[in-house]
Structures are given as structure tokens and as C-alpha cells.
Amino acid sequence: MANQKRKGKGVEQRRWPLDRVRNFGIMAHIDAGKTTTTERILYYTGRIHRMGEVHEGAAQADWMEQERERGITITSASITTEWKDHRLSLIDTPGHVDFTAEVERSLRVLDGAVALFCAVGGVEPQSETVWRQADRYHVPRICYVNKMDRTGADFYRALEMIEERFCHRPIPVQIPMGAGEMFNGLIDLIRMKAVWYHKDTQGVKFEEGEIPGDLQEAARDWREKMLESISDYDDTLMEMFLEDKEIPEEQLRSAIRKATLDLQITPVLCGSSYKNKGVQRLLDAIVHYLPSPADRGEIRGVHPHTEKPELRKQVDEEPFAALAFKITTDPFVGRLTYIRVYSGTMYTGQMVFNPRTGKKERIGRVLEMFANKREEREAVFAGGIVALVGMKDVRTGDTLCDVSHPILLESLTFPTPVITRAIEPKTKADQDHLLDSLLKLAEEDPTFLVKYDEESGQTHISGMGELHLDIIIDRLLREFKVSANVGNPQVAYKEGVSIPARGEGRFVRQSGGRGQFGHAIIDLEPLADGRIEDGLVFEDKIVGGVIPKEYIPSVKKGIEDAMGSGVLAGYPINKVRVSLIDGRYHPVDSSEMAFRIAGSMAFKSAAEKAQPFLAEPIMELEVVTPEEYVGDVMGDLQGRRAKVAGITPRTDAQVIRAEVPLANMFGYATSLRSMTQGRALFTMEFDHYQRAPKEVEEEVIKKVRGY
């Protein structure tokens, strides 16, 4: 039986065996067809009875108004469904780079992924970004080459690009029959059968048959390549292959699964989700080749009090441990905390422990999500992904665990925002409501930051790009009913230092009674890497106890305070090494606060002598344009201080890759549209910080200082 029954709180719970659970995400470049594929998955698994289309604004997974209007995915939708006696928890992640945090946190908690590629575009910039994110979390994946019905579709070129860009072994388990308008089905290399889909049943019915004569040789060649690659991972299969014996289908699938889980190969499938071809075979591949929670082995963490390593098997019998990977505000039920349960079982009413806060919280309602719809549950088991209602003090990346068996799981890291805008309420009455709404949005999105500038009295919001902040402002107006005036986008510059320098900070205050005394001397130097990123390397070189050990963390804290506001234009200073080498203390008057202030003073003193400079964010840009506009696009990019890395021809267009300063890219979407009659597309993502030219530095400093 697929399901077992288990009682919890007097309510019968439907329970899937762990080896029949698949937690996976669909990841890809923008407009590769993720949401359309998700829609087909829901239809074929019986979750919906009519397929919605992205271009009609009717996709189930795109439930936000902004998603339906713009035809893009903004927030990752969590959906639970079933296929062939397996429970599937699917997350449809955004493709636009401005929402990269959604992909990051989804991959952190998923067991497997479907990497989706457009058969025309192949491997595009955001495809590379999400692939690297999956590598970071060691997520096994399968590839699905979509849009085989499009003019210019080329399955084999996409295959070459996957191998070339990712240095990975993509192994086709299917090949297409035709391409573009001639795409009419696929050849299953496991069963060596041709598959045709019935158009009048929306792909629900299909038939298998003999491979057409003109494709038999190609099918044999590709099956042989597949068997050669797979036989490396199964000795019995290798013997059978060398002896030219018939290989049982199950044995072949088992070998593919083993190699996929070991991240040695990536099975590749093809189809056209929009034309309802190939999605059921993709569902079969998810079941056959992607891991269950049990396949992912033990999860590692540390004991929050002793910091000793802790391990948990991903089974119900272990103590409870889960990771909160997303916070959202729901208009009907309030604050939702999405969690992935790694081990143990959790019931409503149960007390759980949060190691970050050191506090216990009671589990209220447990909801199994279906995009923005929900079904209530009494319990959740190992491998489950659910949303909790009413968790007051839980943030993204927090661990929730058994009170008597605490564990702290690895949290999540997110990129630094690169664009800032000032925002203020239209009326005084809206002031508190605006700040409250912004803080709720910042809770949901770790790449969205809110900061109040006391000097100017302005609130600044920072994000990953223009679209990111546009969506935030749109949500403020629609969901939170807050009207606000928003300033023009500002670049999030940083500052660096050029040469080593020494700084001294001496804080002395005597005003009757006990005084304050702290004295610190530091050496400051730039870190060797030419690219400027976040980071401070702090070294304690104090000998002889000239500063007592209990004050050294305070000096470091003071240095971190000073790094937040540089000496040139008030931007954060990064990529530096600071050595605390000397100082003095007073047995009565010294305090943590005095040494914190002394550390801050010492850092500012050293930074002023270290030839500070301004660093600007550099974006990786890709423009896909018809050939006749290449000259205009290139000329425009040169005027924006872009460094063109290369031009790659495509069947229907030219692809220009370049590095360009963010400061020169505001309003580029409008400019590109008018230059190419709306026929060109571009994607842009943050790449690195680098030293700004002198004239840019002087201009920014003038603007900041107001002259």
C-alpha cells in the first residue's frame, strides 16, 4: 500500500513511506517555462482540472497579482501533489535574478531539482547561477530541455552547452523526434520506444510504438552512449553491456539513479510543456531518479550550547529538527513560517525550541500548502514541507527542534543588496504604517533591507535590482494600502583601502565619579583579492595583557561599527584585515563601551591614512538581440562603460555578454526597447565590486557632501 495510517491527536494521519517522498524544485533562467511546466504537473497529477497559462495570467503557481500581470514568478510557490504512489512536494522558483534569494532558500531545503532549459536559448545566465547554487548544496538534479516546439529549437546544442558550461556529464535518457513545428514526440532510450501524444486529450493520452526507420540509427547510437556512461557505476550492467546482453529496464534505471544521487551524471529529458508533450515522462523521471529524504542521509548540525557536532537521521523516530526557510504574510491567516522537517515528528500544540533566541514556542496551526491555498494538518513527519501559523519570533534560517534534544542546523546565506531608494509616506498619518509594512516585507525577504538615516530623517530601502524594488513598492500599495513617495534609485557603493596604515584610538572621559578609559592601536591593510566583497579579518596580537581579553571583542565590535560608514562618502568599508597590536587600560575606569569607542576611533584614524577609494557594483549583462541591432546595442553599451566579453551567434539572434557598472544601467530596459523596436531582451545580475574611476569617485563624493 502506498499510504499508511498513523494516529496523532486522535486524528488519522495519512503517512507516506519516506522512500516514496520527493521534495524537489524547478529551477531555470527567466522565461524557460518553469511555471507552465508546473501547471502541467498539477494537471497530470490531478491537482487541477484546467490548465492555466502564464500569458493569460491564469497560472496556479503565480498567484500574486504582480506575477499574473508581468508573467513572471516572484515568490517560490510550494505545492504538494501525488504521482504513481509517490508524494511530490514541488517548489516553482523564480527565474529573474532579482529574486535569487527565493531560489537560494528553496535549494537549501530541497532534496532534488529539475534544471529546466529552453531548447532555443540553451544555457542562459540565470541557468548558470541556479546551477552553481545547486552545486553549493550538493543537490542531485535532472535536466529537462523544454520548448522543443519553438522555431530554432536544438536539443543537441543545449546538450553541448550543458556539458561545456557546467563541466558535467549530461546523459540523455530521451531524444526528440523532430524540432520546432516538426516536433511530434520523443524516443525513450530506456525502453527503446517512440512516444506520440494525442493533441485532443491535452497530452493525457499517448501511445508507444516502434521507432521510425529514419531515427533508429540515431536512437541506437544515443542508447549506446548512455549505456557506456552508466555502466561505470554498475559492474553487472557493464558485463551485460560488454557481452551485448539484454539489460532489464529496472536494472538500468537503478544504475542511473545511483549515478545521479552521487552527482556523477545528470539525466536529460526533452519536451514541450506548452504543447503538452513530455511532462508525464518528466514526472516518471522525478520518481525514478531524484532522491527521497532517506537518500540524502544524515543531517549535520551542532549542539547550541556545547557546539559539538550533532547528527540526525532523516526518519520519524529521531528527535524533531526542522529549518525555517521562508516567512510570508498571508492576508487571511497572518504570518506564515515555512519549514522543512528533517527528522522526527511534530504535532499541533507541541512545544519546540529555537536555539537562536533560546526560547520555546508552541506549534499552532500546521498547513500543507497548495500555492496560496491550504489544507490543515494535525501533524508533520520527517521529509515534510509545511507552513506554520502564529510563530512569533522565528526568522528565515532559524532551526526549530526538540526541547530536550537541541540542535542548530546550518543557516542560509544571502547576497548583499546593490541598489537603494529613499522612501517616505505621503501623509504623516502613514509614517508608522509604512515602517511596520516595510519591516514585514524585510522579514519575508532577506535580500530586502530597511534602514533609517537619522541625519537626513529618510528611510532607505535596498534590494537586488530595479524590478525587485518596484515589486516591493507595488506590494506596499496593494497589499498594505500604504501610499509613499519614492526617490530615484541609488547605487550601493562600498569603500576600500589601498595601502597599510596604523591607527590609534584613545577614549578618555572624566566627569566626576567613575570615568571612561580605552586605548587601542591597530594595523589596517587591504586583503589581497582585487575584487571588493564583504569581509573583515580581525587578528588579536596583544601580548602581555596590555588590553585584558574581556575587552578585545569590544574593540572588534567598535571596528565593525566604524566599517559601516566609510571616511570618503559614508559607504561601508570592506575587504580589510585589522590587527590589534597595542593599547592600554585602566583597572577602574576601563569598560567594554570605552574600548568599543576606542576601536571605532582607531579604525577611522587608520582608514583616513590608508588611501581610501570608492568601489562600485559591476553587473554581468547578457543582451539577446536580432542581428540588425547589434551595432546600436554595442555602441550604447560602450557609452555605459561596459566591457564586452564576447558575442555568441544563436539561430535567431546574437547574444552579447558584458560587464557593466550598475550606475550606468538605470532605465536600460526602456532604452533597449526603443533601440531594437522591442525585439531585444536582457538579463543582468550582480557579479562583483571593483574600484571606481577617479572621476566617478569625485562625482559621488560631491553628491554625498552636497557641493
> Using 50, 70 and 90 to split pLDDT, how confident is the model at 677?
confident
> Using 50, 70 and 90 to split pLDDT, how confident is the model at 69?
very low
Q: What is the pLDDT of residue 52?
A: 47
Q: What is the mean pLDDT of the chain?
A: 84
Q: What is the pLDDT of residue 100?
A: 62
Q: What is the pLDDT of residues 177-230, one digit of tens each?
A: 999 888 989 999 999 999 998 777 777 788 889 999 899 999 999 999 998 888
> Using 50, 70 and 90 to split pLDDT, how confident is the model at 530?
low
Q: Are 166 and 206 part of one and the same domain?
A: yes
Q: What is the pLDDT of residue 67?
A: 37
Cell readout for 691 is 574600484
477, amino acid identity: L
Q: What is the pLDDT of residue 5?
A: 39
Phi/psi for 430 (5° steps) reads -85, -5
> Using 50, 70 and 90 to split pLDDT, how confident is the model at 514?
confident
Q: Which of 36, 78, 41 lies closest to 57 in space, CA to CA?
A: 36
Q: What is the pLDDT of residues 345-402, one digit of tens each?
A: 999 999 999 998 899 999 988 988 765 567 888 889 998 888 898 888 888 888 999 9
> Using 50, 70 and 90 to split pLDDT, how confident is the model at 108?
confident
CATH number at residue 681: 3.30.70.240
Residue 4 domain flag: no
Contact by Cβ (8 Å): 61, 39 = yes
Q: Are 163 and 218 part of one and the same domain?
A: yes
Q: What is the pLDDT of residue 504?
A: 95
316, amino acid identity: D
Q: Are 453 and 566 part of one and the same domain?
A: no
Q: Mean per-residue pLDDT for 592-606?
A: 95
Q: What is the pLDDT of residues 11-33, one digit of tens each?
A: 334 467 888 999 998 888 777 78
Q: What is the pLDDT of residue 190?
A: 93
Phi/psi for 515 (5° steps) reads -95, -170
Q: Are 114 and 232 part of one and the same domain?
A: yes
Q: Are 630 and 583 part of one and the same domain?
A: no
Cell readout for 136 is 553549493
What CA dihedral angle connects 258, 261, 263 and 268, to 10 degrees? Answer: 80
Q: Are 389 and 445 part of one and the same domain?
A: no
Q: What is the pLDDT of residues 124-139, one digit of tens each?
A: 766 777 787 788 888 9
Q: What's the CA gap between 158 and 287, in Å, rounded?
A: 24
Q: Mean per-residue pLDDT for 553-564?
A: 94
Q: Are 170 and 253 part of one and the same domain?
A: yes
Cβ neighbours for 615, distance < 8 A, ≥ 6 positions apart: 493, 494, 495, 496, 532, 574, 689, 690, 691, 692
Residue 663 domain flag: yes
Residue 319 domain flag: yes
Q: What is the pLDDT of residue 64?
A: 42
Total domains in the fold of the chain: 5
Q: Mean per-residue pLDDT for 82-100?
A: 72
494 has which bridge partners? Answer: 615
Q: Mean per-residue pLDDT for 441-464?
A: 79
Mean pLDDT is lowest, of 81-85, 372-376, 478-482, for: 372-376
203, amino acid identity: G
Strands 266-270 and 141-146: parallel
CATH number at residue 457: 3.30.70.870
CATH number at residue 366: 2.40.30.10
> Using 50, 70 and 90 to split pLDDT, how confident is the model at 68?
very low
Residue 1 domain flag: no
Residue 633 domain flag: yes
Residue 8 domain flag: no
> Using 50, 70 and 90 to split pLDDT, how confident is the model at 6?
very low
CATH number at residue 76: 3.40.50.300
Q: What is the pLDDT of residue 390?
A: 81
> Using 50, 70 and 90 to split pLDDT, how confident is the model at 463?
confident
90 has which bridge partners? Answer: 24, 79
What CA dihedral angle connects 8, 14, 18 and 24, to 10 degrees? Answer: -120
Mean pLDDT is lowest, of 171-175, 483-487, 506-510, for: 483-487
Q: What is the pLDDT of residues 274-311, one digit of tens each?
A: 899 999 999 999 999 999 998 988 888 999 888 898 99
Q: What's the CA gap between 374 and 367, in Å, rounded?
A: 6
Q: Are 517 and 479 part of one and the same domain?
A: no
* Top-ranked range on mean pLDDT: pick from 368-372, 431-435, 632-636: 632-636
Q: What is the pLDDT of residues 232-270, one digit of tens each?
A: 777 788 888 888 788 888 889 999 999 999 998 999 999
Residue 6 domain flag: no
Domain boundary among 595, 610, 625: 610
Q: Are 81 and 20 part of one and the same domain?
A: yes
Per-residue pLDDT at 441 exceeds 60:
yes
Q: What is the pLDDT of residue 169?
A: 84
DSSP 76: P
Residue 3 domain flag: no
CA angle at residue 131 from 130 to 133, to 5 degrees?
A: 60
Q: What string of DSSP letters covers 224-277?
A: HHHHHHHHTT-HHHHHHHHTTPPPPHHHHHHHHHHHHHTTS-EEEEE-BTTTTB
CATH number at residue 563: 3.30.230.10
Q: What is the pLDDT of residue 529?
A: 62
Q: Which of 469, 679, 690, 622 lies closest to 129 in space, CA to CA?
A: 622
In 527-661, at which residue ranges do the beta strands (DSSP E only) sit? 536-540, 576-584, 612-625, 643-649, 654-661
Residue 113, SS3 per DSSP: strand
Q: What's the CA gap between 594 and 589, in Å, rounded?
A: 9
Neighbours of 227 (CB within 10 A): 19
- Domain extent, residue 138, equals 14-295
Domain boundary among 387, 409, 431: 409
Mean pLDDT is lowest, of 32-41, 109-118, 408-417, for: 408-417
Neighbours of 335 (CB within 10 A): 18
Domain boundary among 236, 261, 295: 295
563, amino acid identity: M
Q: What's the CA gap between 293 and 316, in Å, rounded?
A: 11
Q: Are 133 and 272 part of one and the same domain?
A: yes
Q: Are 529 and 554 part of one and the same domain?
A: yes
Cell readout for 620 is 554581468
Q: Are 487 and 440 part of one and the same domain?
A: yes
Residue 514, SS3 per DSSP: coil
